[in-house]
Amino acid sequence: MVKVKQRIEDFASGHELKLQEILGCHRKDSGYVFRVWAPNAQAVWLVGDFNDWNKTLAMQLTSNGVWQIKTDLPQTGQLYKFLVKQADGREVMKMDPMAVELEPRPGNAAVVTELPNKSWHDGAWLGRNKRSNHFARPINIYEVHASSWKRHEDGSLYTLRDLQRELIPYVKKQGFNYIEFLPLTAHPLDASWGYQTIGYYALERTYGTPQELQDFVEACHQENIGVLSDWVPGHFCINDDALAYYDGTPCYEFSEKWRAENKGWGALNFDLGKPEVQSFLLSSALFWLEFYHLDGLRVDAVSNMIYRDYDRGPGEWKPDKYGGNRNLEGMEFLRRLNRTIKGLHPECLMIAEESSAQVKITGRIEDGGLGFDFKWNMGWMNDILNFYQMDPLFRKYHFNLTTFSFMYRMSENFILPLSHDEVVHGKRSLMNKMFGPRDKQFAQLRNLLTLQMTYPGKKLLFMGSEFGQYLEWRYNEALDWAELNDELNSKMQYFDQKLNEFYLNEPSLWQLEQKDESVQIIDADNKDESVLTFIRQGKIRHDFVIVILNFTPVERKHFSIGVPYSGKYQEAFNTARKEFGGTWDKDVQTMTTKQEKFKNLDYQIELDLPGFSAMILKPLDAHIKRGNRRKK
């Protein structure tokens, strides 16, 4: 009892990192003990199947606002809630914030249960992952919404068991090496995609059971596929029977109404400076990483946690103590979150979804960052998608959209996201954003994905984009797999498979991403022809590729580009080839240099460049003369 009391004090001071072992439901002797934090409640009762949901089991207030009861009545599998007499006297049925399993929707009662004690068989993956330098290896993420990737013929949802049978082999075949799920935490409505969380320790029941998620992750690891999940520590669902004003007063949310209300999402913002909230969220993050062996978390909506004026108009917010717009508590919480997780699990990836450039997000905390490993490059994504939606006739006037991100690429450690957010709410699918008729749309989608795969930064692609789904994503339906009966969609899927394979096997595309020498621009000024050329460099001098992107439908014959060494070069990848859905059926091009300067390079080659194509060239052999390095 002394140990529990001490851990409750640790919770109250913000230092408990395994809160699920203290609060919630736990077997004790022949019965169960239940604990819940409701510091300003007048009374709390345990109600459930075992007492016909009546007020017969009054809980006792112990210390630090924690109520407790031990009883032999509940049986494994029965449902329960807490009936909370709130500070104003109103009695409200509340779910257990610490529940690890909930009943199926539409209810949200917790299940009396004990977590499985799994014997894991993923040691080889964990060992390799701990020894790995994430920054110097390929990361290619397939983003998935668990209930709309596929569905059964009768429309019923795939469970994690179904996904284990079908999604894992698909991802492996397509050449992705990570799966990132939209939030797996419990949520009351599919339309929120998981971002309106009610259960920070509970797996969304429509996806399956805790054991099934453990088995899924283990099966991924056995196929050398990592598993990430989105996690939402900034705001939570406003539902009255969940976390919101749990005891009738602000518990998890800010006490100041303007800070608590999240108008844009109809949610409530966590008070990230409150010690109990810190214990709650830090424990949640570690629970998903440790209990389910997840390989990292993508923290959603970081801007909402670091700016006081986020989603606020003039007069709707107050400055911080320094007169600025920083959410100082939120920033310190994020530093603590990353410091805690990286201290215990340095191999786990911490990724931020953040759209501003005022605060450094990645990098060491000691150097002024928030401690994240990677940040989504929203600027690159917005510029690139705006460019590809444009009539090619006018692209030369906006060519800087393809090149501006080179200027700041070293400012953060980036992931290049083509995510779910870009293919909903009338934005159209990735394929249907492309300008022009259908065959040209596919050509440009191949071009876009090649740009993403060759540009410095880790990669993320939302499901369905790999085969060019025409309709935008619908959360309540499966992807339109019938489209693969169309030759262009089928060839698009094959193209994505081969492109991913090329990326995973080409060290120059990922070895030196955190260094300036990773990229050498050949020509970023060819606006009139709208052709961009650059070099990606690996650790070894002759491990490099040359990337050529033609953003117009015009074929460029005898097109000249600069190269760094004399010798022969050969086409290694060409998005316009027939096997990928294009029309190019000529022989693979081999080019010999001529000694003629091109900008700051000493040599040139000529090639034929198909319209809307992306081409990747490689030196034909490794015997390029050492004396022919470009002059600096």
Supply the residues annotated as catalytic: 300, 353
Is residue 496 within 8 Å of residue 502, measured between CB atoms?
A: no
Phi and psi dihedrals of 163, rounded to 5?
A: -65, -35
Longest dimension (CA), the chain: 91
- Residue 222: DSSP 8-state: H
Cα dist. 535→103, 367, 445, 577 in Å?
54, 30, 21, 22
Two structure tokens written together for 347: 């191999």
Two structure tokens written together for 629: 């390095």
Name which of 399, 400, 381 is nearest 448 in CA terms: 381
CB burial of 89-128 (b: ≥16 within 10 Å; e: otherwise) equals eeebebbbbbbbbbeeeeebbbbbbeeeeeeeebeebeee
d(Cα 260, Cα 269) in Å, to the nearest integer?
5
Strand 267-269 vs strand 414-418: parallel, antiparallel, or unpaired? unpaired
- Looking at the DSSP bridge assignments, the partners of residue 561 are 605
Cα dist. 576→160, 545, 573 in Å?
37, 18, 9
Half-sphere exposure of 508 (CA within 13 A, CB side): 21
d(Cα 91, Cα 54) in Å, to the nearest integer?
12
Q: How many helices (H) and strands (E) does the chain have?
A: 13, 29
Cis bond before residue 116 (omega within 30° of 0): no
Name which of 469, 416, 460, 417 is nearest 441 in CA terms: 469
Strand 296-299 vs strand 267-269: parallel, antiparallel, or unpaired? unpaired
Task: For the chain, state the CA radius of gyration.
Answer: 27
Name which of 450, 455, 449, 405 is nearest 431 in CA terms: 449
Two structure tokens written together for 54: 């009546």
Is residue 583 within 8 Å of residue 576, measured between CB atoms?
A: yes
DSSP-based three-state secondary structure for 19: helix
